[in-house]
Amino acid sequence: MESNIIINTDVVQMSASAIVIAVSCHGIFDLNSDTPTESDTLPKGVAFSFIKAIQAINEKLAAKNSHDPLFDLILVANDLQGNQSKVVSSTKHYGLQISRFCFCTSEDFTQSLQATNVNLYLSMETSDVGKALQEGVPAALLCPQTRPQLEGDEEQVASPLTVLLSGDVMGLPEEKLLEAGFSQPQLQIFRAAKASMADFAAVIGEMRRHFGREDSPLRVTLMSVLGSRDEWASALLTARGWGLEVDEAYCLAGASREPVLKCIQPHILCYDGLYNVTEVPALS
């Protein structure tokens, strides 16, 4: 199956200056659920709140009459020949501001991403993120959410879009990674992850400056798992050099990251080439 781009005519298309984020529909919708829903509507997935968080930022920027770029969302569906119509109808049912749909195969999805000039690709599958990084496509992990939901039409109250950056990518020298046993192929993905993070951090930093510390729809956290306090401090300086001020910063110095992840519940996890993340944990 060749890639197929479908424009969502139900929403206003973004300008060419918009920040394009392509997100895998796995996680946004529960494609494996046996729970019955209205007609062909798919149940919400564990990362559905990411879309709501993005839309909240766009709405606040629009309310400021800002001329700065908004987020432009593309929904990517790999190998879903039988569910394409359900993905489109579900998006419209939930009122999601998705400008385009990209239907493709697992083999050619990176070419589709390159053709649409995405600024960031998000997936819950570490293998897909790694493949995108290897092909030069900026990519990060989409994380599941377990925040409480309300009943009714407003069940998904948008929490701030939380972006978690890896201080290990930003602060650890490659010499230390080699000493830790990283291979050259792993280092190549590590470099790609750092380049991807730098570009995205600059964009996020510019957008973050539009909001104050209180009630911001966008929050940025930095977490260093492997590095020392000095390397953590170096990561903070690197972030500032990229034009990014973080809201929170954690130096774990080898301690488990799981308790912090459960507390932060990031939507986007820009991590260290994916070799220290074997799976995306359920952040409950």
Q: How confident is the model over 258-272, as pLDDT tens digits?
A: 898 888 999 999 865
For domain 4-142, the CATH architecture is: 3-Layer(aba) Sandwich (3.40)
Using alpha carbons, select from 214, 279, 218, 275 the residue that is nearest to residue 244. 218
Reading the block at residue 175, the tokens are 């010499």
- Is residue 88 pLDDT above 80, yes or no? yes
Reading the block at residue 127, the tokens are 């293998």
Give the position of tokens 């990518």: 169
Domains 4-142 and 161-270 share a fold: yes
Instruction: Read off the pLDDT of residues 241-255 as tens digits, 9 standing for 90 and up.
Output: 988 889 999 999 888
Task: Measure the CA dihedral 186/190/192/198, to 10°.
Answer: 180
How big is the chain, counted in residues? 284
Reading the block at residue 41, the tokens are 């509507």
Q: What are phi and psi of 139, to 5 degrees?
A: -150, 155
Mean pLDDT of 80-109: 88
- Are the C-beta atoms of 280 and 262 separated by less than 8 Å? no
Q: Domain 161-270's class?
A: alpha beta
Mean pLDDT of 107-131: 89
Predicted local confidence at residue 7, as pLDDT: 93
Mean pLDDT of 184-212: 83
b/e per residue 133-147 (b: at least 16 CB within 10 A): beeebbbbbbbbbee
Work out the number of other CB atoms within 10 angstroms of the CB of residue 108.
Answer: 14
Predicted local confidence at residue 90, as pLDDT: 93
What does the alpha-carbon distance between residue 127 and residue 114 come to, in Å, rounded to a whole number? 17
- Are the C-beta atoms of 129 and 143 separated by less than 8 Å? no
Q: What are phi and psi of 104, to 5 degrees?
A: -150, -175
- Is residue 277 pLDDT above 60, yes or no? no
Reading the block at residue 278, the tokens are 């074997």
What does the alpha-carbon distance between residue 238 and residue 143 come to, in Å, rounded to a whole number? 24
Mean pLDDT of 184-200: 80
- Is residue 136 pLDDT above 50, yes or no? yes
Q: Which helix (H) or strand (E) holds 278?
A: none
Half-sphere exposure of 225 (CA within 13 A, CB side): 16
- Are the C-beta atoms of 255 and 137 separated by less than 8 Å? no
**Domain boundaries in the chain?**
4-142, 161-270
